[in-house]
Amino acid sequence: MSPVFSCSLRAAVLAAMSMACLSATAQIKVGINLSTTGPAAAIGSSSKNAILLWPKEIAGKKVEYILLDDATDPGNAVKNVRKLIAEEKVDIIIGPNTTPNALALLDVVAENETPLLALAASASIVEPMDAKRAWVFKMPQNDTHMTTILTQHMADHGIKTVAFIGFADAYGEGWWREFSKLAELRHITIVANERFARTDTSVTGQVLKMMSARPDAVLIAGSGTPAVLPQRTLIERGYKSQIYQTHGIASLEFLKLGGKDVEGTLFPTGPAVVARQLPEKNPVRKVSVDFAQKYETAYGPGTVTQFAGDAWGAYMLMANAIPLALKVAQPGTKAFRQALRNALENTKELVVPQGVITMSPTDHVGLDQRSRVMGKIQAGKFVYAYGG
């Protein structure tokens, strides 16, 4: 064997050994994009608190979490995720918290073939399923899950007429679409349909229109602290009947800002928010309570929110899929991202704090009726009210 060939062979062997070593020790990189400032800060901060409790190792692999703030701006969300993919070479993206930001990321993650676990609510993030959405999964319940139990509660309690006011974006439109459909099926008449922006400082005009229709109840389809504004205005204008909100309000900041004006509010919510009050027969009670204990040990009694529960569920879903993906490829590779996407899509009967997840190629949420109950704001706290 010639010296040149021998040296070349030795170099090739050493290179192969080096690559094998790197593959064996490669850590998993998780990119996280949240709204920890801006109008959705109350949501993003709660998600962040749960993420800070995530274990730093999954399936024997070290995990690096890289967290960025999009300031509740879709443009920032796109910049952040492009950076996480191009510069940090992440294997998966967690977030964002808001529907407009999540929709803005569909092209980015599809182009780069990187799975996304969204922490925003609207079904439009994952429906209708197409080549872009094939890379996207979603933790919060679809609007239809929440609207079903909400309209059932209305029908069971004699509500015949409802005024609707929602965000002037995809979140509000998604809720309007599902609520108007189910309200008709339950013979509930919608007497007003209004919109407001997350950054509005007044909704007096919309509220006066709604009150002039004399509805039995009002549904506010907003999330985070901006959802307080319509309710406070209704109370200030003397509205005395029932006010409903959506699962997007379940944060401590909403309670603090709303104060006495949000007392008695009814809202659909994930089981984690009222974990200890769930009926013993509830199939997710144990997992929900375990999460609540972990979270409250870190942040204090009564601190669990819808968004913290969703974020912990994202960890559980990811941790369930990663061992399967590792059988196919190593982190940092296109093959690993594809295998991780496939593993997420094949999740079966995984119990998380907010429900039981069974994914499929056409369902990238995977939750059913076990994912929601009705809650109520009572004495400044979220309490269990109905269902489950």
CA atoms 53, 56, 60, 66: torsion sign: positive
Domain identity same for 131 and 223: no
Domain identity same for 298 and 187: no
**Owner of token pair 């602290």:** 225
Domain identity same for 33 and 89: yes
How many domains are contained in the chain?
2
Identify the CATH number of the domain in which residue 116 sits.
3.40.50.2300
Residue 121 burial by Cβ neighbours in a 10 Å radius (0-12, 13-18, 19+): buried
Query: Residues near 128 by Cβ (< 8 Å), separated by ≥ 6?
Result: none
Domain identity same for 313 and 343: yes
Instruction: Say which amino acid occupies 33.
Output: N
Domain identity same for 195 and 124: no
Domain identity same for 244 and 134: no
d(CA 36, CA 34): 6
Do 303 and 276 meet the contact criterion of CB atoms below 8 Å apart? no
Residue 319 burial by Cβ neighbours in a 10 Å radius (0-12, 13-18, 19+): middle
Domain identity same for 260 and 152: yes
User: What tokens were used for 111?
Assistant: 């182009």
Query: Residues near 301 by Cβ (< 8 Å), separated by ≥ 6?
Result: none
Per-residue pLDDT tens, the chain, 388 aa: give them.
444 434 444 544 444 444 444 444 589 999 999 999 999 999 999 999 999 999 999 999 999 999 999 999 999 999 999 999 999 999 999 999 999 999 999 999 999 999 999 999 889 999 999 999 999 999 999 989 999 999 999 999 999 999 999 999 989 999 999 999 999 999 999 999 999 999 999 999 999 999 999 999 999 999 999 999 999 999 999 999 999 999 999 999 999 999 999 999 999 999 999 999 999 999 999 999 999 999 999 999 999 999 999 999 999 999 999 999 999 999 999 999 999 999 999 999 999 999 999 999 999 999 999 999 999 999 999 999 988 6
The neighbour count for residue 177, using CB atoms within 10 Å, is 16
Which domain covers residue 219, as residue numbers?
143-269
